Chain A
Amino acid sequence: MNIKHLLKTILILLCIVAIFAVAMFGLNFLTGPIIEANNKGAEFAPLLAVMPEAENFEEVTSTLAGVPESVIAIYKETSGKGFVVRAKASTQYSKEPMEITFGITADGKICGIQLDVYTDSIDFRSKDANYIDSYLEKDSALADIGTVSGATYSSTAFKGAVSEGFAALITNSLIAEGVKSDAQILGEMIPTLAPGMLKTEEVAVSGNIEKAWKAGNDAGFAYVVKNGEASFLALVNATGACKVYDVAGADVTDAQSAIADEAKAAASASQKSYTEDLNTKITRLYETATDITPVEVSTFNTVVAAASFKVDGADYYGFYSRSIGFHQMDVYFVIDANGAIAKMDAKQFIFDEEYFGNFGGMDVGAYKGGFEGLTTETWSGEQAVIATATMTSNAMKQSTDDAFAAFNAIKGGAQ
């Protein structure tokens, strides 16, 4: 190949490339705006699905302050009809975060809502087909929106994402905040005041009780009780202790003893007792255990039974905690009079091992032994970690924290 042929070839290639480049450049003037409009239409399709009467949208996320991480984007309907929020939420069962799109009218009510992405192993839509539609017409108070029985975590996450979307708009004064009823305010206090009541589900009420919830892990009951015009939140734990709070979150147990008595009576009728289970466990762990006596604890955590007992004259306390990991965890602790864990055991540590793709097994004896001797000072949480079993590790950590808290409450009144 001589230089002349090479140059000719290069020239031909360049000419052809130039011709196509010019053609495509010109064509881009015609198709560019149309393609952009098509892409915009595709982007706005989920927004139109929740606000069909919208004319156009403008993303305003970057112009807003205090937008939570769970809010993916906020779009303003350009003619003033309202806003569309795209939000995400995760649960411990999520492979990927669920994604939600919902429209909020200018007067602050949900006009459309849909679940765009959902990968949780438990689908709350199959357990309550009307749950998502129950959000329609609700304002930011989300009155009467509860959780789905059997899919508590995912429905709670769904509700949380919607609430955070509302909060972003309210914080920026784009919509008015919905007014919550006292019962709703009190109900929302439960996770804070009784963090051990997991997977709460609403149950039937009677008497002065306006609303009632049962902990899915049997850690107790929560009641909204009416007294005259005021409503109060009464919490009763599995050992029978009760506390009453007003809507400001103040402890009014002493002043509202009648409410406490009514709540205790209601709870005792339905509360499953774990005292016998704990006693049996204690006698298995210590064949010489004597004077096993049930103890009421004032903590509202995952401890469902507590007992004091003696072994060879020494004082011990037994605790039965029911936290939730991959499934329900049943964990027992024996703490000596000095506050050190003497023994720890559980009905089962690892559930559905096949779920853990990388789970390499665990030395149960060594794991349990690692807890012995731990006190609140030496317990860091790291001792509960089981490699590649995060959910179980977290549950074990919660149970250990709760057992120490219950012990401290018994010994010193502090929690």
Chain B
Amino acid sequence: MKNFFKNCLLRGTPSMVLALGSGFVMASSADIRAALGMGAAVLISMLLTSIVVSAIHKFIPAYAKLPVYLIIITGFVSIIQMLMQAFFPIVVDMLGAHLAALAVSAVIYRDAEEVADHNGEWHSIKTALSTGLFLTVIMVICALIREILGNATIWGVEIPFLANYKVSALAGAFGAYLVLACVLAAIKKLTGAHEHLEEEDCE
């Protein structure tokens, strides 16, 4: 069990281990609402993509996998974006182009290509869920640090006693790198150094 969480933490944080998707992690971690929104978008698109890819991968010729998977990912991201625009417009405003850019995210493509393409539905669902959930957790941790200390707000509500002590740099790109680096260091300390992660680790 301990190994499962340790490995899922690493599986679920590809941006930490493989430097994949670190762009949208940083872009989405300035506000907890944005982090949760992006986390949900990643989780759902990854889950749906994995299910579809694992179901149809046998019918797709090897040379056509890249365009087919990208179309599937783009389709699901577009659907999620439409739903979020309708029901969570504030989050869409916060995420801006980064939400649409999920369609070309290496994290989701990697999950589809490396996991769903070689495994059954159940395994793909498990991997997508663990990856998406832990990615969300990491984004929320970063967002908690950056929003509270950088903006002196939580969930967009001002924290009066912190207003005069906020470190504005944390809310910007520099802060995003700094917090990400700290979280990366903490994860490495908790899990030990992992240069390579095998898919089996998460089973």
Give Cα distance in the complex from A17 to B67, angstroms: 11
Instruction: List the one stretch of A21-29, A73-81, A163-171 in contact with chain B.
Output: A21-29
> Given A1-B63, A13-B68, does the pair A23, B86 have CB atoms closer than 8 Å?
no
Which residues in B have their C-beta under 8 angstroms from that of A17?
71
Task: Check if A20 is an interface residue, CB within 8 A of chain B.
Answer: yes
Interface of B is mostly: helix
User: Chain A: which residue is nearest B74 at the CB level?
Assistant: A20
Q: How far is the CB of B69 from chain A (nearest CB, A)?
A: 10
**A24 and B79 within 8 A (CB):** yes
**A5 and B83 within 8 A (CB):** no
Give Cα distance in the complex from A8 to B87, angstroms: 38
**A31 and B72 within 8 A (CB):** no
Task: Check if A337 is an interface residue, CB within 8 A of chain B.
Answer: no
| Residue from A12, A23, A31 in contact with B85 in the complex, judged by beta carbons closer than 8 Å | A31
Instruction: List the one stretch of A34-42, A226-234, A282-290, A398-406 in contact with chain B.
Output: A34-42
Which residues in A have their C-beta under 8 angstroms from that of B82?
24, 27-28, 31, 35
| Residue from B67, B85, B86 in contact with A13 in the complex, judged by beta carbons closer than 8 Å | B67
Produce 1/0 per residue, B161-182, CB < 8 A to A. 0000000000000000000000
**A24 and B78 within 8 A (CB):** yes
Produce 1/0 per residue, A38-49, CB < 8 A to B. 100010000000
- In the complex, 20 of the A-B residue pairs with CB atoms within 8 angstroms, ordered by the A residue number, are A1-B63, A5-B61, A9-B63, A12-B64, A12-B68, A16-B68, A16-B75, A19-B75, A20-B71, A20-B78, A23-B79, A24-B75, A24-B79, A27-B79, A28-B82, A31-B83, A31-B85, A34-B86, A35-B85, A38-B89
Task: Check if A65 is an interface residue, CB within 8 A of chain B.
Answer: no
Interface of A is mostly: helix
> Given A34-B87, A38-B86, does the pair A16, B72 have CB atoms closer than 8 Å?
yes
By size class, the interface of chain A is: 20 to 34
Give Cα distance in the complex from A339 to B101, angstroms: 70
Q: A-contacting residues of B (Cβ < 8 Å)?
A: 59-61, 63-64, 67-68, 71-72, 74-75, 78-79, 82-83, 85-87, 89
Q: B-contacting residues of A (Cβ < 8 Å)?
A: 1, 5, 8-9, 12-13, 16-17, 19-20, 23-24, 27-28, 30-31, 34-35, 38, 42
| Residue from B63, B71, B75 in contact with A23 in the complex, judged by beta carbons closer than 8 Å | B75
Which residues in B have their C-beta under 8 angstroms from that of A19?
75
Q: How far is the CB of A134 from chain B (nearest CB, A)?
A: 28
